[in-house]
Structure 1
Amino acid sequence: MKYHGSCHCGGIAFDVEGDLGGVMSCNCSMCARKGALLWFVPREALVLSTPPERMSTYTFNKHVIQHRFCPVCGIHPFGEGTGPDGKAMAAVNVRCLEGVEFEKLPVQHFDGKAS
């Protein structure tokens, strides 16, 4: 299925396609503060509608995930990194997707604090 997502002000907009069967909630210092519910997809499944230079990026700890956020409204719609298989992936914040009843999705909890 195809979904449309954006930050709050619309400065970052994208489409993502895939099977949204569940989300991950991470308790690392970054995810716990953002409250993001993450859906991992191959990076090529996420297509930006706005130029990448309109995004800001934050990295921390091992600096392997580029946490993308809007410099205007501050919302974090997705992150980018490399999956365990070595391929580019995106971690989409499903709270930024239109029409998704995220509270009905199964949630897998990940202990990012321990990683």
Structure 2
Amino acid sequence: MNYRGSCHCGNVAFEVEGELQEVLACNCSICKRKGSLLWFVPRDALHLLTPENAVRTYTFHRHVIRHQFCPTCGIHPYGEGTDPQGRAMAAINVRCLDDVDLEQIPVTYFDGRAL
């Protein structure tokens, strides 16, 4: 299925292809503050509809996840990194997707604080 999403102001817009079957809620220091619900997809399933220079990047701790955010409205629509097998991945903040009923998606809780 194809989903569209964006930051609040629309300066960062994207499409993502895949089956949205569950999301992850992480309690690490940044996810806890952002309140993100994350859906992990291969990076090539994420297609930006706005120029790449429309986003800014924030990293912390081990600097392995690139948290992408809009410099205008501050919303974090996705992150980028690699999975344990070395494949490029995107972590989509499903709260930024259009027409998704969050109440219908199972949530897995992850103890990112322990990393």
* TM-score, normalising length: structure 2: 0.99
How many residues matched? Answer: 115
- The whole-number CA distance in structure 2 between the counterparts of 1:42 and 1:30 is 22
SS of the residue 2:72 aligns to: coil
Aligned match of 2:84? 84
- Deviation digits for residues 85-105 of structure 1 (CA, Å, limit 9, x no counterpart): 211000000000000011221
Q: What's the C-alpha RMSD, in Å, of the aligned pairs?
A: 0.5
- The whole-number CA distance in structure 2 between the counterparts of 1:65 and 1:17 is 21
Identity rate of aligned residues, in percent?
64
Q: One-letter code of the match for 2:32?
A: A
Does structure 1 residue 55 correspond to structure 2 residue 77?
Answer: no
- The whole-number CA distance in structure 2 between the counterparts of 1:24 and 1:103 is 14
Aligned match of 2:104? 104
Structure 2, gaps ≥5 residues long: none
Does structure 1 residue 71 correspond to structure 2 residue 71?
Answer: yes
Structure 1, gaps ≥5 residues long: none
- The whole-number CA distance in structure 2 between the counterparts of 1:56 and 1:67 is 8
* TM-score, normalising length: structure 1: 0.99
- The whole-number CA distance in structure 2 between the counterparts of 1:20 and 1:84 is 21
- The whole-number CA distance in structure 2 between the counterparts of 1:4 and 1:23 is 17
Q: One-letter code of the match for 1:63?
A: H
Q: One-letter code of the match for 1:113?
A: R
SS of the residue 1:32 aligns to: helix
**Deviation >6 Å, runs of 4+:** none
